[in-house]
């Protein structure tokens, strides 16, 4: 009898163990199934928050202008360019001797003016604000860049002055005083760091100029270093033009241009154009008139404010697939290097509406969103107006 009772107890215990085992299995299966369901969403969020640098094959948009593409300059391998390449030096003492003459540098694949400056002038840069000075030097001494980082192409030979300033060919009517004034530009923009002012003594005392301080005579045709000098940079305007018919015209000529009516207007405040707020590359600076958000390939790009699309399509000159929105209040926003765009020129968009996917088309070294805000007079730093 007792034996029988024990057996019944044992059987009951076995049954409850089996039941618990089944419950455990069911929970594990449920967990796996829900992970499978959520996995693409998790992957998507991770992609949006994580800049990818893997190489992507460029898919030309369906409406790509073949002729425009064919007119791109042929790529010449930097290896075949006969020019001196100066390796970035990190020793200040060694550079004290080297920094008397300019050096030629051949632009490599993936270079940006910011990176070139940071490498080449590593020994002279002590704080981030210094970089502006050197960027000015890069643009001022290489006019073919037209003060725009988008014009930087592999194979180009850049003249990098020994110190920030202008490498200048002396002419007959020049005096040390007049040249000092010529390269002390007016304060044209709040982003220009102070101190672009040349003292005549700086020209005379610069060792590389080899001028006798007692008899400061410079022969016409001689190249002279103007330390601290700068020329004002040109800002390209992206304002839409108004045509005779009263319609507005796209700020760019290209397959994404149109005539449009300003049927929608901005709220006057901007939101982030991407879920990612992290800056992956360039900040707003001379020659780079926007900010680079570390948006993953294909991640959503949103209209920073309401308005009308004033350009949507491919644009030569490094932009890649470009969307421009005219907010009708004096501001336009630009979204560059897109992998895709799902608006057309002339279409009205609401703030926060998706206009395309981030990408790496045009002159870009990896997926990101290059975002610019243009006002009537020039560009403004997007980070100064974003929440
Ligand atoms: Zn950029």
Q: Among residues 49, 69, 89, which one ends one of the domains?
A: 49
- Tell me, in angstroms, the distance from the centre of ligand 1 to residue 322's CA: 12
Query: Does 90 fall in a domain?
Result: yes
Cα(274) to centroid(ligand 1), Å: 14
CA of 160 from ligand 1 middle (Å) equals 22
| Distance in Å, CA 262 to ligand 1 centroid | 27
Q: If we measure between CA atoms, which residue out of 343, 373, 345, 369 comes closest to residue 355? A: 343
CA of 335 to the centre of ligand 1 (A): 10
Residues 14, 97 within the same domain: no
Taking the centre of ligand 1 as the mean of its atom positions, its distance from the CA of residue 369, in whole angstroms, is 7
Residue that is last in its domain, among 205, 227, 249:
227
pLDDT at residue 223, as a whole number: 94
Tokens for 113, please give them: 């003016």
Residues 370 and 251 in one domain: yes
Locus of tokens 């704080």: 127
| Residue 126 confidence (pLDDT) | 77
Å from CA of 10 to ligand 1 middle: 73
Q: Is the pLDDT of residue 95 over 50?
A: no
Query: Residue 167: what pLDDT?
Result: 94
Whether 185 is in a domain gets the answer: yes
Q: How far is the CA of 283 from the centre of ligand 1 (A)?
A: 8
The most confident of the ranges 16-30, 146-160, 211-225 is: 211-225
- Between the CA of 102 and the centroid of ligand 1 the distance, in Å, is 27
**pTM tops 0.75:** no
Residues 252 and 364 in one domain: yes
The region of weakest confidence among 86-100, 244-258, 313-327, 354-368 is: 86-100
Q: Which of 227, 254, 273 is the last residue of a domain?
A: 227
For 308, the enclosing helix (H) or strand (E) is strand 307-315
- Indicate if 222 and 254 belong to the same structural domain: no
72: in domain: no
**Which residues does residue 312 pair with via DSSP β-bridges, in sequence order?**
323
Residues with CB under 5 A from ligand 1 (ion): 282, 292, 370
Stretch 164-169: mean pLDDT: 92
Radius of gyration for the alpha carbons in the chain, expressed in angstroms and rounded: 29
Ligand 1 centre distance from Cα of residue 100 (Å): 32
Same domain, 276 and 304: yes
Residue 54 has pLDDT above 60, yes or no: no
Instruction: Give the SS3 label for residue 18.
Output: helix
Instruction: Name every residue whose Cβ is closer than 8 Å to that of residue 362 and which is 6 or more positions away in sequence.
Output: 150, 315, 317, 318, 319, 320, 321, 322, 336, 337
* In the predicted structure, residue 79 carries a pLDDT above the cut 90: no
Are residue 204 and residue 85 in the same domain, yes or no? Answer: yes
User: 339: CA distance to ligand 1 center in Å?
Assistant: 15
Distance 320 CA to ligand 1 centre (A): 12
How many domains, in total, are found in the chain?
A: 3
Percent of the chain with pLDDT over 70: 71
DSSP assigned state of 245: T
Say which residue, 91 or 369, is predicted with more confidence: 369
Residue span of the structural domain in which 11 resides: 1-49
- Indicate the range of 198-207, 237-246, 374-383 predicted with least confidence: 237-246
**Domain shared by 253 and 323, yes or no:** yes
Rounded average pLDDT over 224-245: 71
């Amino acid at each position: 009898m007792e034996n029988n009772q024990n057996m019944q107890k044992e059987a009951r215990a076995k049954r409850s163990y089996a039941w618990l085992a089944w419950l455990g299995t069911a929970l594990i299966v449920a967990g796996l199934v829900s992970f499978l369901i959520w996995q693409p969403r998790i992957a998507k969020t991770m992609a949006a928050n994580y800049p990818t640098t893997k190489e992507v094959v460029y898919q030309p948009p369906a409406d790509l202008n073949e002729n425009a593409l064919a007119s791109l300059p042929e790529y010449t391998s930097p290896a075949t360019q006969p020019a001196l390449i100066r390796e970035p030096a990190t020793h200040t003492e060694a550079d004290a001797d080297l920094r008397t003459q300019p050096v030629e540098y051949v632009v490599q694949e993936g270079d940006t003016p910011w990176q070139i400056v940071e490498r080449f002038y590593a020994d002279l840069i002590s704080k981030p604000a210094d970089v502006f000075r050197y960027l000015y030097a890069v643009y001022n001494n290489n006019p073919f860049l037209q003060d725009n980082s988008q014009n930087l192409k592999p194979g180009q030979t850049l003249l990098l002055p020994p110190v920030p300033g202008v490498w200048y060919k002396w002419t007959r009517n020049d005096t040390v005083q007049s040249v000092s004034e010529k390269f002390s530009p007016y304060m044209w923009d709040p982003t220009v760091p102070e101190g672009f002012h040349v003292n005549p003594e700086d020209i005379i005392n610069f060792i590389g100029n080899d001028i006798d301080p007692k008899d400061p005579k410079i022969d016409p045709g001689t190249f002279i270093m103007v330390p601290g000098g700068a020329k004002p940079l040109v800002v390209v305007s992206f304002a839409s033009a108004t045509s005779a018919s009263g319609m507005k015209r796209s700020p760019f000529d290209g397959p994404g241009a149109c005539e449009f009516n300003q049927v929608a207007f901005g709220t006057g405040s901007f939101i982030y154009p991407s879920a990612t707020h992290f800056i992956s590359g360039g900040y707003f600076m001379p020659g780079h008139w926007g900010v680079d958000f570390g948006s993953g390939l294909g991640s959503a790009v949103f209209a920073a404010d309401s308005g009308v699309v004033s350009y949507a399509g491919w644009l030569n000159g490094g932009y890649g697939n470009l969307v421009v929105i005219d907010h009708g209040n004096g501001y336009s926003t630009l979204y560059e290097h897109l992998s895709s765009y799902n608006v057309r020129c002339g279409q009205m968009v609401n703030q926060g509406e998706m206009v395309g996917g981030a990408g790496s088309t045009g002159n870009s070294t990896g997926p990101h969103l290059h975002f610019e805000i243009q006002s009537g007079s020039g560009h403004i730093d997007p980070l100064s107006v974003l929440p």
